[in-house]
Amino acid sequence: MWQQVIVALIVVAALVHFCTKYLPAALRKQIVYLLSRRGFDQNKLAKLFNTKSSCGDGCASCGSCETTPAASSDASSSAPLKRVIMLRVQR
């Protein structure tokens, strides 16, 4: 009896680890949303599943609810920035 309980706990812990690390971000966000609707703390779940809290709670952490764009209008008219990848050569 105790062996089955211990094995079940190990399997549940492995499932939780898999869900928090290897699932795509969209599925992790859905899991956080569904569990938060069931009464669990959304901030703790978001931290556990490595996602941000959803914007539906009005926490203003993601900044997507802003009415003004974050970038200035003069920066958008300039040429696009070129990104340079620096390589370190080992000899």
Q: What is the pLDDT of residues 1-29, one digit of tens each?
A: 999 999 999 999 999 889 888 888 888 88
Averaged pLDDT for residues 34-54: 83
Cα dihedral 75, 77, 78, 84 sign? positive
Answer yes or no: is pLDDT of 45 > 90: no
Please count the other Cβ atoms lying within 10 Å of the Cβ belonging to residue 33: 16
Average pLDDT of the chain, as a whole number: 77
The more confidently predicted of residues 77 and 49 is 49
